[in-house]
Every structure is written in structure tokens, then in C-alpha cells.
A and B are shown apart, each in its own frame.
Chain A
Amino acid sequence: GAVVSQHPSWVICKSGTSVKIECRSLDFQATTMFWYRQFPKQSLMLMATSNEGSKATYEQGVEKDKFLINHASLTLSTLTVTSAHPEDSSFYICSAFTSAKNNEQFFGPGTRLTVL
């Protein structure tokens, strides 16, 4: 398979601060990366689609100015939660796609964000 990493694996921050989460494809180049959010006992909800070198496409109801996504290279996408509030506390998961590996999406291990 292919490996996708996320950093950090967990983060605790104060309300009002910004937090950056990295998603890396370690052994393949990902033309597209996706960002999901998952609240406790709930399913994954797609937040945005990130294509290398272009602006991210956000799902309805997701604030693009609050959740900044940058896909600067074929192996790295970042999600920045700006001015975080307690309601932003969640499990954030990224996935990466490459046509070179059976068109499969590979998921990262997730990042647990807790906003105090």
C-alpha cells in the first residue's frame, strides 16, 4: 500500500489561536488530497478537496477563510484552523489519491484537535 502521515497526531490549543495540520504522502505523489472532519461517534464529513497548485474546493457549509488549505507540492497539503474555538475540536483526517495505485484513496492516521 501507500503511506500517508499527518502531523501532529494531536494538538491542544487555546481559543483564538491558529493551528496547522500537515498531511504528507510518504511514498507517492498525490495529485489530490481530501480533508475530512469527524466528531465523536459520527461519520467522516468531507471538508474540502485539495489539488496541487490550485485553490481548494470546499464543501457547502465549510468556511474557507477559517479552514485554510494549501497544497504546495505533490506530497504535502496543510490545513490551518484559524482562530480556533472549542466547537472546532474534532478529529481531522486527510486522504491522498494517486492514479498510480489502483485509483485508491489512502487515509492518514488523523489529528485530534482540542481547543480549550
Chain B
Amino acid sequence: RKEVEQDPGPFNVPEGATVAFNCTYSNSASQSFFWYRQDCRKEPKLLMSVYSSGNEDGRFTAQLNRASQYISLLIRDSKLSDSATYLCVVNGAGGSYIPTFGRGTSLIVHP
């Protein structure tokens, strides 16, 4: 099983739709979790950290489910500008502070 797994997509949704991605991780000792966004041919940029209690930033909501070992990202009221690849990052498993990136999930928002 891969350390961090994501459905590559693409997810094709119309503007205004709500879309959710999951990311599963294999090491139950993982300590921290992040979502990054990467536009085509650009660098990844931090979208949000994922806290145990879940957190929201505008139209974006991130949640952590430790029992099932996955994190999720929910995007409400999708905008054309949300089109990008969303990368899941997991860190801190077994005392190793090496971030592990997922392959990313591609989102395409169309008019």
C-alpha cells in the first residue's frame, strides 16, 4: 500500500458545484496533514493545514479521520479559478519529519 494515496481524477464539475476529495495514508503514527494546491507548471502552494477537529477557510473545509486514516477536502461553490491539482501531504510518522506527498487530484471547474 502506498504511503499516501489520492484519486488522480480528473474531477470535472460545473461552476457552483460542491466537490470533495479524499486522501488515505498508511502510517497511523502520522502527526500532521496539509493540503497544497498546484497550478499547471507552477509550484505547490499551501492551501490549508488539517487539524484534528477539522477546519474551514472560506469555501474550503478540511477534515481528518484518524480511525480510518484519511483526510478530506471539501470545496463549496466551485469557481473556475479552483481548477488545479490538489496535493495531500502527510508528515511526522515514526519520528521522521519527512513530508510525504500524494500524487494529487486534478480538479477542472467548467462554466
A-B interaction: no
By a beta-carbon cutoff of 8 Å, the part of chain B in contact with chain A is: none
By a beta-carbon cutoff of 8 Å, the part of chain A in contact with chain B is: none
